[in-house]
Amino acid sequence: MWPFSKKGISGFSGSSTAEQVTHGIDAIGLTAIVTGASSGIGVETMRVLALRGVHVIVAVRNKVAANDIKEAILKEIPSAKIDVMELDLSSLESVKKFASEFNSSGLPLNILINNAGIMLCPFMLSKDNIELHFATNHLGHFLLTNLLLDTMKKTAHQSKKEGRIVNVSAKAYIFAYPEGIRFDKINDQSSYSKWGAYGQSKLANILHANELARRLKDDGVDIIVNSLHPGIILTNLSRHMSVIDGNYYLVLFSSIHDLSRNY
C-alpha cells in the first residue's frame, strides 16, 4: 500500500487537497499562466489559484472547453479572475504568438506552471517535424519559459515578490531511453518506444528546471524553479494507455515508491 495518508515534513500527505495546502494564502495581485488547464490537474490548479485571488491566464489548445470550465468556476467563485488564451505547445509558431501577445499585454507574471503534456501516443511528428512527446512536453515549454522570462524577471524586481516556475514532470523519467535524451535520434521512428519517448521528455523537464534554477540563482534573480511529480491521477492524459500499459505503470511506480522510502 502507498502511504498516501502519511504526512510528510510539510504537514501534508498524498491525500491532501490543493485547497488544504493553500489554506490561508492570500494571493490577490499575483498573475499566473497555467498551460493545459482545460482538463485534468490543470483545471484544479486553475480553480484553486483563482480561489486564492490569483489572476489566472489559461493557455490551451481548446478554448471552447477552457471557456466552459471558466464559466463553471465563476459560478462557484464569482470573484475569480480568469482569462483564456490559445496555445498549442506542439507548434513553435503558436508558442511565439502566445508569448508575444502576453508580453504585449503589459500584465505582470509571477507564476508560470508548465503543466500541459501528452503521454504514450503512437509515433507522430509535430508541426515542426519533431517527435510529438519531445515537442509538446519539453520544447514547447522550454521556448515558452524563455520567451516569458524577461517579463517574469521584471515582475519579480518591481513587485519585490519571489517568482515561481514549475515544470510538471513525472517519475516516469526513469522510462527514458538507456542513453538518456537521444538528441541525435529524436525522430528515429525505427527505434521509437512510447515509454522511452515519454520518459525522455519528462527527463528533459527536470533537467531544464535544474539548469534554469542554477542560472537564475547565479544571476541573483528572485525566481524559484522546480519540477514535480504529481502522482498518479486518472485524467485524459492516459487516453493512449492500454490496460497493460496502465498495470505496468502502476506496478512499477509502486516499486519505485516503496524503494524510495528506504533512502
CATH number of domain containing 202:
3.40.50.720
Per-residue pLDDT for 120 more than 70?
yes
Whether 145 maps to a domain, the answer reads yes
The percentage of residues in the chain with a pLDDT greater than 70, rounded to a whole number, is 86
Tell me if 180 is assigned to some domain. yes
Show Cβ contacts of residue 125 under 8 Å, excluding neighbours closer than 6 positions.
Answer: 131, 132, 135, 187
Inside any domain, residue 210: yes
pLDDT tens digits, one per residue of 174-199: 999 999 999 999 999 999 999 999 99
Average pLDDT over residues 237-255: 49
Q: What mean pLDDT comes out for the span 106-114?
A: 98
* 184 assigned to some structural domain: yes
* Domain that residue 138 falls in: 87-235
When divided into structural domains, the chain yields a total of 1
- Residue 4 phi, psi dihedral angles, 5° rounding: -65, -25
Residue 182 in any domain: the answer is yes
For residue range 137-162, what is the model confidence (pLDDT) as tens digits?
Answer: 999 999 999 999 999 999 999 999 99
Asked if residue 226 is part of any domain, the answer here is yes
On whether residue 5 sits in a domain, the answer given is no
Task: Tell whether the model's pLDDT for residue 243 goes beyond 90.
Answer: no
Query: Considering the domain boundaries, does residue 172 fall inside one?
Result: yes
What the block records as the C-alpha cell of 221 is 534573480
Higher pLDDT, 257 or 17: 17
Confidence of residue 6 (pLDDT cuts 50, 70, 90): confident
Q: Provide the sign of the torsion angle of the four alpha carbons 99, 142, 25, 69, taken in this order.
A: positive
Question: d(Cα 99, Cα 82) in Å, to the nearest integer?
Answer: 17
User: Which active-site residues does the annotation give?
Assistant: 192
